[in-house]
Structure 1
Amino acid sequence: MRSRLLALTALALACGGEKPAVKTSSSPRPPAWLAKAPSSPEALYFSGAKEGAPSLEEGKASAVESARSQAAQYIGVEISAEHHDVMSTEEAENKAKDTVKSRANAMLRSAELADVYYERISREVGAGTIDRYDVWVLLKLPRTEVEKERQRQTQEAQQTAAAALTRYLEGRDQEKQGNLIAALARYRDAAGKAKEVAGNTPTGDREIATATALLRKAQDAASAAQAKARRAIVVAPDWVAGAVTQALSRKGFNAQTQSDTSEDTALAQAKAQGTPWVIVVRATTTQGGRVFAQVAATAALDVRALDARSGLVVASAQKQAKGVGRTPEAAQQAAASEAGLDAGNDLAALLVAKENEGL
């Protein structure tokens, strides 16, 4: 009987031990603008919120950034604004990511804080109390300043679109002259600029009227130019050429292998075909000692990429590798394959970098 009474007492204490949360607010009633923002001929209003902030100051700051993000999205032709709240009921896990990146940042920062409303939720934990804050803010911006900013951004967007068109046309001229790398760099630049603005931004051109149309043309031209730019004639011994071309193909290069052609002949052929690169591989192998039941060999490669138009070396790589095999030929092939793949990878990366530089 006594044990039963003790159990009932413990159960009663467990059920009544947790006290309910206490909510207090900054005003008796939530303001009307929580449901609908005010309207005024002189000003625009934007609201933002933050739930579960560990302090009133942090909640207010996050809510202000949220309201600025809303304003940025309204204003923005070129504004990039992101607001992301990570809300959690777990203490110490409540974090917020609030970012406002804007060309009109100064104007947004100067927005007037018209009103603040918050609710505090307090819970007793152990011998202490933990508070969490739900905060709402209302920002006010003059309509005249907002319209000026929108006009400024519209003008800048049109200038950017016009600059993108200029780069695209420059790319076409370079391609007609046979300068594939220079053309590719300009097409990519044109596409990058076109992406920065709204799709309906006018370019000032009758045939390519909008940024969307320009972006499509620039991307198509860049894709075609890249395919042409990533062509090469590889002058190399048969036993290493396969590894080098394999590495190049992984980066999108189309390489013709010629083992019995001189460097000068390959340059003349590439220039006549419009192939931008001639890759010359000088390779040597050295036989090593025995490794258990196998033999070893070392391969050393000196690889150069030449501009077919000028004959100048634009990239180079030197590689050395060891290989083993049951026969000297197999060991030589293993070493050459490893060195060839490494050299091809390095050279492909260097040539792709040349594309980005536009030489």
Structure 2
Amino acid sequence: MYPPPLNPALRWIAEIGADLPEAVQRRLRSGFYTSVVPLVVGSFNTTAVALVAFLRSGHPAFAAIALADLLLLGLRVRLLRSVNTSSGPIFATGLLWAALHGLMIALVVTSADVAMSIVALASGLGAAGGIIGRNFAAPRYAMAQVLLIDLGYKISFCLGNPEFLPLILLQTAIFILMNRAILKQQRTFAIQAILGEAESRRQSVTDPLTGLLNRRGLEDAFEARDGTTRNRVLFYLDLDGFKQVNDRLGHAVGDALLCDVGRRLCETVGPDETICRLGGDEFLLLTGPRDDREAGRHAARIITAIAAPYHIDASVYARIGVSIGIARENAAGDGSLAELMQRADKALYAAKTAGRGCYILHGADAAASPADRIGHAA
């Protein structure tokens, strides 16, 4: 969602920050889609000033600007719904609106209507403040909009009063520097907030020891189904012999061993499979649809990987094993993770009872065949 513009020039103007993670860029870019109110308020401001100027001067250009602004508003509101297509039109129409506003101010100033010029200038300053407050995520875009409005006044004023040009140039430089500082500050605060939220979210779904998902993370992954996935398979793993190693060699070694188990699981399973450390020496693995034979082969590979010796230090090796209970999601795909875990836990208990170092599918009467039974932990 919220892809960047395709046009190179617009892409540069609307750049969020190439050094930021893609998720952060999308989050910042989403701010340009989230509310129609600023667009409506900005457009009505321009339209109202243009109509008043038309009534005071009778110049048809002001009526044309008011009409164009309303038509542009309708287009901009419609574009907000296109969250999955290029955001180029969003930014292009935003620049066009700012140019219309700047043109309206320029025409008012050249009309020599002092009262109307003050109103138009106030309108431009209000629009600039709103732009800085809303569009800070794309600093170049925000600055371009503000300058299109601001220069409409300053250029037209200098054409009639050239003696003020040095002062106007100084004011413009100060104006740009001030707005850059404000944009940078707001953008920095927003990025820090998003990154902090993402880190907090990551910690809430991640096991701090192994870096794998915790139960909450698995629950989120389980619920994030696309509506077509059915018959997913849950592997419930319980390490054999881990407690003895932990008691004999200490908790530091035990923690390192759990991290090694997590790494071996990541190396053994596919990238689309979800691994979770449930707690202690228990792990869960959620995979896509598999028949019984495929599930058994997958479990056998896991048992083999976990059973390989672990190098503790120069002269010490540890061996552990794993027992696995396997359960399949119901065909309708409407069961809960808790129900699936309960069935897998029953199968795990049967595997432990059958001698450990083996797997059992839920509903089976016996452990896997001897060819698939990987020996017990040392």
Question: Would the TM-score normalized by the shorter structure come out above 0.5?
Answer: no
TM-score normalized by structure 2? 0.23
- Kindly indicate which of the two structures has a greater share of residues assigned to helix: 2
TM-score normalized by structure 1? 0.24
Rg bigger for which structure? 1
- Kindly indicate which of the two structures has a greater share of residues assigned to strand: 1
